[in-house]
């Protein structure tokens, strides 16, 4: 997992920003889906797209994975209501 953190504490400064990038195995573990299912969902524009890290490596923004999970939970709750 990659992590970028920027913190400023002076008056009028930016708020703390943290960006975590998850590798595929971490994404699979978090969402409980296989690699092939994740790529099928991405092809159908139903899962966040990865960010290129190098020529052969990609990662997913942790915040986008969390948003996707929240949307799934919200959809479930909307149907149940």
Euclidean distance between CA atoms 34 and 26, whole angstroms = 11
Give 80 or 51, the one with higher predicted confidence.
Answer: 51
- 5 CB-near residues (< 8 Å, 6+ apart): 16, 17, 18
Domain residues of the chain, as ranges?
Answer: 2-80
DSSP 57: -
pLDDT, tens only, 6-61: 555 556 656 667 899 999 999 999 999 999 999 999 999 999 999 999 999 999 99
pLDDT, tens only, 53-69: 999 999 999 999 999 99
- Over 80: is that where the pLDDT of 70 sits? yes
Euclidean distance between CA atoms 21 and 35, whole angstroms = 17
pLDDT of residue 79: 87
pTM exceeds 0.85, yes or no: no
């Amino acid at each position: 997992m990659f992590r970028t953190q920027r913190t400023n504490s002076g008056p009028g400064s930016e708020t703390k920003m943290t960006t975590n990038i998850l590798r595929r195995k971490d994404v699979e573990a978090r969402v409980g889906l296989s690699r092939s299912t994740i790529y099928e969902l991405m092809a159908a524009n139903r899962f966040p797209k990865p960010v290129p890290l190098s020529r052969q490596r990609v990662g997913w923004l942790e915040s986008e994975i969390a948003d996707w999970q929240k949307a799934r939970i919200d959809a479930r709750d909307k149907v149940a209501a």
